[in-house]
Amino acid sequence: MIDLQQLVRTNIRALISDVDAKAEQTERDAQHIMLDANENPYNKPLNRYPSDNQAAVKEELAKLRGVTHREIFLSNGSTEAIDICFRIFCQPKIDNVVAIEPTCELYRRFARLNDIEYRPVLLDDSFQLSATKLLKACDRHTKLIWLCSPNSPSGNILNITEVEKLLKAFNGIVVIDEAYTDFSRLPAFRERLSEFPNMIVLNTFSKAWANAAIRLGVVYAQEAIIDIFKKVSNPYPINQLTQEQALDVLKHRYDIEDWIKILLLERKRMMLAFESLACCEKVYPSNANFFLAKMKDAQSVYNYLCQKGIKVRNCSNLSLCNNCLRITIGAKAENAEILGILRYYKPTK
């Protein structure tokens, strides 16, 4: 079993007990005359600070995911949640984190920003993890293990048995970034909160939910962890317009389901087409809205596409991704465009 108090960084532990000591302010509502926050009474309704606990959005998400609102924390994109994980648990210059490699570059970036040692552990040739290898990289100062499933840039789901082994054997926190899980038809770890007191799951409105502009991330974890997130959070972290738009999306989630279905069909079509291209060596399996393709000369194809006004991600600088491009599934016409243009590609050497 994990000892959550012991895992939390010392100064954060102190801050939390200070927050606890202060009596909790009751939320205000429209019935009150609001003279407590130095707002301007004009320019309704945007003159007021937004709901601080985002009750309405959390209530809808809780219903949808079969969790309670106390197991949800909302952040300014899941990017902010990644930073908060480091700030809650990791003591700069002393603690470290372990992560699969290659993966989303944000974990390394926030480790550096927070002055935390980052220990990448190479996946195998099919981008799968070994719990044993990851655990071997841990020592008594390892606070977090970073996983991403489906993983970026590889696109695959991580082996569920290996992830379970980690969750059971590791005495720190396992963070599972499930940013792409709604593109996969496989069960998600966010549905298993009650089994794992040391698990934090990250979701986002930016990908399957088609709302990158509103910057909304969702953290799922047991109540004890979510409580800490709330106590270290900025005041009013989620702006009013974002909360309103999130509620609107949640009401129209059947549109999202339809878009996902179309994108999955397009993914299949794109991956098959790429496999038949002369410039492509291999396409890796994907459970996300993108796929990784090993090219004969990724840089040259990348340059060619740029000239034609098409942006893809060149992943050649990442471990195990030499000569790989990561291609996002676009709208039907956009996918047809890239395939048409690639049929005219001539190798430069």
Residues in the site for ligand PLP, rule: CB under 6 A? 77-79, 104, 106, 148, 152, 177, 179, 204, 206-207, 212, 217
Nearer to ligand PLP, 71 or 178 (CB): 178
Task: Report in angstroms how near the CB of residue 212 gets to ligand PLP at its nearest.
Answer: 6
Nearer to ligand PLP, 16 or 216 (CB): 216
Task: Report in angstroms how near the CB of residue 288 gets to ligand PLP at its nearest.
Answer: 8
- Residue pointed to by tokens 């210059």: 93
Task: Report in angstroms how near the CB of residue 304 gets to ligand PLP at its nearest.
Answer: 26
User: Which residue of the chain is nearest ligand PLP when measured via CB?
Assistant: 77
Task: Report in angstroms how near the CB of residue 44 gets to ligand PLP at its nearest.
Answer: 30
Local structure of residue 115 (DSSP, 8 states): T
Nearer to ligand PLP, 204 or 243 (CB): 204
Q: What angle do CA 112, 118, 122 make, to 5 degrees?
A: 135
Alpha carbons 76 and 60: distance in angstroms, whole number: 18
- Residue pointed to by tokens 């740029």: 306
Q: How far is the CA of 123 from the CAs of 77, 126, 134, 199, in angstroms?
A: 27, 8, 10, 21
Alpha carbons 142 and 146: distance in angstroms, whole number: 11
Nearer to ligand PLP, 211 or 342 (CB): 211
Nearer to ligand PLP, 212 or 278 (CB): 212
- Residue pointed to by tokens 């205000």: 28
Contact criterion met (CB below 8 Å) for 63 and 55 = no
Task: Report in angstroms how near the CB of residue 104 gets to ligand PLP at its nearest.
Answer: 4
Burial 63-82 (b: 16+ CB within 10 A, else e): eebebebebbbbbbbbbbbb
